[in-house]
Structure formats: C-alpha cells, structure tokens
Amino acid sequence: MDGILLGLETALQPGNILICLLGVTLGTAVGVLPGIGPTATVALLLPITFEFDPVASLIMLAGIYYGAQYGGSTTAILLNLPGESSSVVTALDGHQMAKQGRAGPALATAALGSFFAGTVATVVLAMFAPPLADLALKFGPADFFSIVVLGLIASIALASGSTVKALAMIVLGLLLGTIGQDQFTGVPRFTFGVRELYGGLDFVSLAVGLFGLAEIIRNLESRHSTELVTRKVQGLWLTRDDFRRIRMPVLRGTALGSALGVLPGGGHVLASFTSYSLEKKLSKEPKKFGTGVIEGVAAPESANNAAAQTSFIPLLSLGLPTHPVMALLVGAFIIQGITPGPNVINDEPELVWGLIASMWVGNLLLVLLNLPLIGIWVRMLTVPYNVLFPAIIAFASIGCYSIGLNAWDVFAIAGAGLLGYFLIRWGCEAAPLLLGFVLGPLLEENLRRAMIISRGDPSVFVTRPISASLLLLAAIIIVVAVLPSVRKKREVVFQGEDD
C-alpha cells in the first residue's frame, strides 16, 4: 500500500499528468496511421523522451505504448488495416460492424474493454512485480544466465513463422550486441576501426530503423487504396443489450490477457487469438463470428490490453523484456542511467510505482480522450500517406541526432531500415533480433561472471537448482515447439498476420 500511495502521489503531480496526456495523445495520433502499430510508434517517438527526467520519460513512453495500441484498433475497425498482429482479430468483426453502420459501438467497445482490462491488469502488475523482484534478488549469475536463455527460447517458440528463422534472428541480435568495447577488458570488438562503434550500435537508431523506417518502406511498396467505411462516426454509446453481451467476454479476455501477457515474444498476440477462439467456442451461434458480432471486438481488445500491462511484470521485476516495446523501454532505462533488474523496485521506488500508477491515469485519459475526439482520428485517416511518411522520417532522424549530436546515428537509421525491410521480404521477424540485441550483453555478462566465480567450471549452470530448472524448462519448450502437431497449431494461430 505504501508503494501504491507513493505511485499515486507521483503520477498525480500536474506535470506527470500532462506528460501522460501527451504520451497517450501522441501514441494514439501515430498509432492510428495505417500500418505503423505500437512497436514502430514507440520506436519513432522514443527520442523525444530523453530530455525529461527518468520518471516523466517512462510515464510518457508507457502512455505512447497503450495509446498506440488503441490507435491500432481504430484503424483495424474503420479501414480493416490492423496496426499490428494482435489487432488482426479485432478487424474480423470490428470492420464488419463498421460496414453495418455500427462503427461507433465497435470503437466504444474497444475503448471501454481496453480501459477495464488495463485497470485490472495494472492491479495484477502491482501485486506480482514486487514479490517476483524479491525472489530475483536471490538469483546468482548462473541463474540470471539461465533465465535469459529461457526468455530467448520462449520468444522463439511464440514467434510467428519459421522457428529456424526466429532462432537466426536471435543469434543475429546477440552478435550485433557484441559490437563495441568488451565490458570486462575494454578491448574493441567488431568495430573495424570505426571510432563511432566503440560504444556499440546505437539502440535508438537500430530500433527506429528496424521498426519505423522498415515499416514505412514496406507500406510504400505494398500501398493499396483504402477507403474509410464511414467519415462520421455516430452512436458511440452502447445499448443495454450491448453491455449485456460484452460483459463476460471482457472479463474472460481480461483474465486470459493478464495471464498470457508475461510470456516472452508473442504473449499479447496469443492472448487476442486465444480469447477470440474461446468466445467462438462458448457462443451459441459460433458461425456468426466474423460477420460483425460485438463479442468478437470486446474479447480480443480486452485480452490485448491486459497483456500489454502485465508484460511490464518481467521488465520491472527481472529486467527482462517480453515484447519489442519492452525491449525499447529497457533501452530507455539504460539511457536514463538506470540498470533494469530486480533492484530497480528498491532503488527507484518513485519511478516504478509512479509508472504503475500512471497506467491507471493513462487508461482513464484514453477513454476521455478518444471517444469525444474520434472525429479527429477519423480525419487523420484521410491524410495521404505520401504526405505523412517524409515528416515521420524527418522527425525520427532529428530526434535520434539530437540525443548524441552524431550524424553517424542518422546513417545507422538508414542501414537498420534497409536491414529491417529485407528481413520482412525474407519472412523474418525483427522482434527476436531486437530482443537478442538487448539481452545479449546481459547474457554475456552473467555467463562470464558465473564462469569466473566457478573458476571455469561450466557445471555451475546445472548444479544450481534454479539454473538447472530454468534450462530444463527451456529445453522442453524448444522440443515442444518443433513437434509437428504444435508447429501446425502455431501456423494456424498466426496465419492471420500474413493475411
């Protein structure tokens, strides 16, 4: 309770409320643009937060994240263009509702379901993050090495597409993370005499290029004419029958999302697909799903937003990102001079509890902001994309340059953007690459520290009970993931992303 009161005291400061409002507004504004999505939105807007103090910076980034998720549902409903994979399911019934003249109730359902799920999941976050952090303080270097391995393996198993390609992306990310000076000896590695690489690849430039610029190039290449179903959204308030129909789907979606959000890799995607499948199985008329039933919007949106909040649990308690956006937040922690991990809750209580409490504020602001201003977001969808993308690239480049006043960072955006584009063309996901890049130094540090403590004896990883259990779990996950029956189910779950 002391932590929650401290968080509310921090989050309700006028300056932090304004920062949170700015975050959710920017997140919604950029997230509503077709084809960008929350990950690219956070990557593009990341540089503007570095001038703030750590608390304000992370409150704003979190606001950008769930604001962009809401913006993605608006695009999915009105244009049938999901901002990211977790919005694919929302588009199935949401767009059909819009075609039937019920765009208002569909958007209201998405907003109210997201608000309820986000509020409940934030309570779950406040309950479970501190005790998990206390448990993590008992971990040694070998245990941390094993838990990072488990996280990387789980992200491979939950990634869409080929398991081999996901593994290759993890390895590539780990290799890119070794560029720069050795953290134990200070010897430059893989710098090829380029002084700008002595500090390693710039995280912000890599993230903006891989997700922001690559997504823009892909959208320009595959740009097809889209038409708004309605240019004026009316009837935003739900009827009594609508409230009755969405009540249980929202509750079930919230519970599923809260549980699955902590899974590395695609927990939020799995949550939205699973909740939709569950509602379809429980429905008396399953054949109506896909034709514009309101339950098909309420369940996945609730699950998606609950998962978005609980994905902060591994980040705040263990310092492990379970999602590309969480990896971006790890980068933000480091740039602000804070080492993410179990000590953060004890060392920076104002930051952690302020961030948690700001999620309640942010979810409330999203409802108050989005429903009355839906007309503005609809008008944004009419702006030609070829007018928007140069401005987006220019602001992202200026933001990255302003961090270190180094032109090399702008060139790095271009290089990472081309790499991200070719990865998309080859059917590879950039998310495992970014997770590998962020977790690589942590993996190497704990591996070498454990080997130093054990005097070079590798058996330390299997003789410590916690480490051995985590490695065994990782082995089971990778074996299960490659089983033919499981692989087929994964393809069925994620096939909507390719569509």
Q: For residue range 72-123, list pLDDT tens digits in order.
A: 777 778 776 665 666 767 878 888 888 888 878 888 888 888 888 888 888 8
Quote the domain boundaries for residue 342: 2-138+148-494
Q: Which residues pair with 457 in a beta bridge?
A: none
Look up residue 116 and give its amino acid: F
Distance between CA atoms of residues 215 and 115, nearest Å: 28
Q: Which residue has the tokens 């987006």?
A: 392
Look up residue 183 and give its amino acid: Q
> Looking at residues 14-31, what average pLDDT do you find?
85
CB contact at 8 A, 55 and 227: no
> Looking at residues 220-240, what average pLDDT do you find?
63
Strand 180-181 and strand 188-189: the pairing is antiparallel
Decide: residue 323, CB within 10 A, 0-12 exposed, 13-18 middle, 19+ buried.
Answer: buried
> Looking at residues 416-439, what average pLDDT do you find?
83
Q: Which residue has the tokens 């690219």?
A: 40
CB contact at 8 A, 57 and 104: no
Decide: residue 246, CB within 10 A, 0-12 exposed, 13-18 middle, 19+ buried.
Answer: buried
Within a domain: 301 = yes
With a cut of 70, say whether residue 478 has pLDDT above it. yes
C-beta atoms surrounding 463 within 10 Å? 12
489 vs 145, residue with greater confidence: 145
Residues 6+ apart with CB under 8 A from 450: 140, 141, 142, 145, 460, 461
pLDDT-based confidence at 234, cuts 50/70/90? low
Decide: residue 284, CB within 10 A, 0-12 exposed, 13-18 middle, 19+ buried.
Answer: exposed
With a cut of 60, say whether residue 259 has pLDDT above it. yes
Within a domain: 143 = no
Record the tokens describing residue 317, joined without a space. Answer: 């308690």
Angle at 1 between CA 262 and CA 114, to 5 degrees: 45
Decide: residue 415, CB within 10 A, 0-12 exposed, 13-18 middle, 19+ buried.
Answer: middle
Residue 60's Cβ-side half-sphere holds a number of Cα atoms within 13 Å equal to 23
Most confident region among 37-41, 68-72, 181-185, 293-297 by mean pLDDT: 293-297
What's residue 34's pLDDT? 65
> pLDDT tens digits for 161-198?
677 888 888 899 899 888 888 877 888 888 888 887 88
- Count of domains for the chain: 1
* Alpha helix (H) residue ranges in 222-294: 240-260, 267-282
Distance between CA atoms of residues 362 and 62, nearest Å: 9
Q: Which residues pair with 462 in a beta bridge?
A: none
Q: Indicate the DSSP class of residue 321.
A: -
- Helix, strand, coil % in the chain, rounded to nearest 5: 75, 0, 25
pLDDT-based confidence at 491, cuts 50/70/90? low
pLDDT-based confidence at 331, cuts 50/70/90? confident
Q: Which residues pair with 181 in a beta bridge?
A: 188
What's residue 499's pLDDT? 47
Q: Which residue has the tokens 């409802």?
A: 367
Distance between CA atoms of residues 77 and 72, nearest Å: 9
Angle at 411 between CA 409 and CA 414, to 5 degrees: 115
**By percentage, how much of the chain surpasses pLDDT 70?**
87
H/E segment holding residue 180: strand 180-181
Within a domain: 499 = no
With a cut of 60, say whether residue 319 has pLDDT above it. yes
What's residue 497's pLDDT? 46
Record the tokens describing residue 312, joined without a space. Answer: 């902060």
What's residue 496's pLDDT? 47
Q: Which residue has the tokens 């393809």?
A: 491
Closest CA to 445 of 154, 75, 148: 148
Most confident region among 46-55, 70-79, 369-378, 415-424 by mean pLDDT: 415-424
Distance between CA atoms of residues 71 and 81, nearest Å: 11
> Looking at residues 233-238, what average pLDDT do you find?
67
Record the tokens describing residue 480, joined without a space. Answer: 């299960």
What's residue 126's pLDDT? 81
